[in-house]
Amino acid sequence: MTQEKGIKAKVTADRIGELGEYKINIQLDQLPKSYLYLSDLLIKNSKAKSGYSQIDHIVFTPYAIFVIETKNYKGTIYGDRKRKSWSVNGKFPMMNPFNQNYGHIEAIKAVLSAVKGITYVSMISFTKRAVFKVNEELRQMKSNDLIVYDTELSNFITRKCNVLKLVNPNPIFSDLIIKIMHSALEKANVTSPELRKLHVDELKRDGQSSN
């Protein structure tokens, strides 16, 4: 690959990523005003090789916290919740994104350890460039592990909250507690460009994709 082609490929990938994040932000902005969210967090994680977890989006609702990992893969996504590796088009391996998101949730739990009774919903968001060949339960509201398209995010979050309401009609978290949790994670966010670059470099050395 020539340098020019390499630069063009990187710009294209970055552009796709930017458009994907823009669409997700539009989805999250459609949620009730009492639902707060944060995007692109880097928080400490003692169990991660880099020492940090980078989290795409966290949504705070009265019934659960939704932790969203975004993917930009194109093609058919083959996966099983219990398998360590998934694949794209049956050829290219990818880490089970729910296992990846589990590490993110553990990092969040460490920050919010003082808050009890939190239900965490792990969501993996793909663009419409992907086709799912995964466990049916990962598309059903009874699961706390959900695979969705970016255009479905607000709908799936709303539907999942409605299911949780059936179990606990009264909100688990008040607006004040939601704001406290939001503030705690916002303060825990590492904004240093140097540390963020080190984290990305460590992922590349470890062979992990940011897609």
* Closest residue by Cα to residue 41 from 96, 112, 115: 112
Provide DSSP, 3-66: HHHHHHHHHHHHHHHHHHHHHHHHHHHTS-TT-EEEEEEEEE-TTSTTSEEEEEEEEE-SS-EE
pLDDT at residue 49, rounded to an integer: 86
pLDDT at residue 120, rounded to an integer: 99
- The strand order across the sheet containing 92-95 reads 92-95, 85-88, 75-78, 130-133
* Closest residue by Cα to residue 158 from 148, 118, 98: 148
Domains recognised in the chain with CATH numbers: 3-205 (3.40.1350.10)
* Cα–Cα separations (whole angstroms), residue 6 to 12, 82, 89: 10, 36, 23
Per-residue pLDDT tens digits of the chain, which is 211 residues long? 444 444 344 444 454 556 667 889 899 999 999 999 999 999 999 988 889 999 999 999 999 999 999 999 999 999 999 999 999 999 999 999 999 999 999 999 999 999 999 999 999 999 999 999 999 999 999 999 999 999 999 999 999 999 999 999 999 999 999 999 999 999 999 999 998 898 888 877 776 655 5
